[in-house]
Amino acid sequence: MVNAVTGENKTLVHLGLRCLIVDTIGVTINTSANGIMLSQNAKEKVRMKKLFIIGMLLLPSLVLANEKLEYELKVLGSEYGYASLYFDGSRAYGEIKANKKWSSVYNISNRIATVVNEGGYPTHTEFTYKFNKSQGHYKIDFENDKISVSKHTKGTTRKRFYKPKVDIHDMISWLAQVRIAVRENPDVPIVFKVFNGAKTYSVNCQPQKIEKLQTPIGEKTTKPYRITVTRSGDSTYKREMRVWFNTTSNFEPLRLVGRFKVGYAEAIITSLKSNDKEEE
């Protein structure tokens, strides 16, 4: 269950046992929680696929303390909604919400919070989702030898455990790895695993040539990556997208385009605030 109290410059958001205070440029997360996990029926697995793609659209990374990024979302060329991201070192909070026009057709209202370790991999992730009439709350704990997940929906909590063979990212943390690569090894392909609470995905990022990109906050010199997502155990699943990263300053993700089940989708940055700059 999510409770929010808003003020002039900040929002207090409760995600289960997690409390986030979101101000104009950052987020502070106080956490005290241990996770568990769930079993899922077919409909729930379909919702988890959609949540993974939503995580792609959120475009967060955990590189910089006190950073806020805002994006406009479009689906099939129509204004769909917005995404807001807040970062404070190893902690992050994100929100994505459909506008009034789309809420009657493809309504999404999601919040996600994560904490990562020194290696950039998640230790605890929580998110609430609302997709049309479906809603629920997940808690995921990434431990040394297992992943524990619990899902609470309709008054019931279900639990399940996974044993990954390699270090694995969540829906937020993986973009931090790409963002660091833009800074340190921009022409080297990147491959890693992502866990969305129910399924494991393989993500392959292929660097492209540097491009100029027009954005609502001005022209930027960017490093695009062509990203291919496949799913373990399902040879028919394949999603492709392209993400543009800033090549200066904090190497922020600036734009994403891709084709998903709902159709062609785009996220474009509209505001960028951090300790050392502000662009709108």
pLDDT in tens, 245-255: 999 878 889 99
For the ranges 23-27, 201-205, 211-215, 216-220, the lowest mean pLDDT is seen at 23-27
% of the chain residues with pLDDT over 70: 75
Report the predicted TM-score, pTM, of the whole model to 2 decimal places: 0.74
For residues 138 and 145, the answer to whether their CB atoms sit within 8 Å is: no
The pLDDT of residue 65 is: 58
Dist. CA 77–CA 238, nearest whole Å: 22
The pLDDT of residue 222 is: 96
The pLDDT of residue 27 is: 35
Long-range contacts made by residues 140-143, C-beta under 8 angstroms, separation at least 24?
A: 140/35, 140/37, 140/170, 140/195, 140/197, 141/33, 141/34, 141/35, 141/36, 142/168, 142/170
pLDDT band with cut points at 50, 70 and 90 for residue 78: confident
pLDDT above 60: residue 161 = yes
- Burial category of 235 from C-beta neighbours within 10 Å (exposed 0-12, middle 13-18, buried 19 and up): exposed
Give the highest mean pLDDT range of 15-19, 53-57, 247-251, 261-265.
247-251
The pLDDT of residue 89 is: 78
Give the highest mean pLDDT range of 85-89, 151-155, 271-275.
151-155
pLDDT above 80: residue 18 = no
Output 274 or 74, whichever has higher pLDDT: 74
pLDDT above 50: residue 211 = yes
The pLDDT of residue 33 is: 34
The pLDDT of residue 84 is: 87
Output 275 or 32, whichever has higher pLDDT: 275
3-state secondary structure string across the chain: CEEEEECCCCEEEEECCEEEEECCCCEEEECCCCCCCCCCCHHHHHHHHHHHHHHHHHCCCCCCCCEEEEEEEEECCEEEEEEEEEEECCEEEEEEEECHHHHCCCCEEEEEEEEECCCCCEEEEEEEEEECCEEEEEEEEECCCCEEEEEEECCEEEEEEECCCCCCECCCCHHHHHHHHHHHCCCCCEEEEEECCCCEEEEEEEECCCEEEEECCEEEEEEEEEEEEEECCEEEEEEEEEEEEECCCCCCEEEEEEEECCEEEEEEEEEEEECCEEEC
The stretch 261-269 carries a mean pLDDT of: 86
Dist. CA 173–CA 120, nearest whole Å: 7
**Sheet strands side by side (includes 18-22):** 2-6, 11-15, 18-22, 27-30
Residue-averaged pLDDT of the chain? 77
The pLDDT of residue 135 is: 87
Paired with 34 in beta bridges are none
The stretch 161-176 carries a mean pLDDT of: 87
pLDDT above 50: residue 242 = yes
The pLDDT of residue 58 is: 46
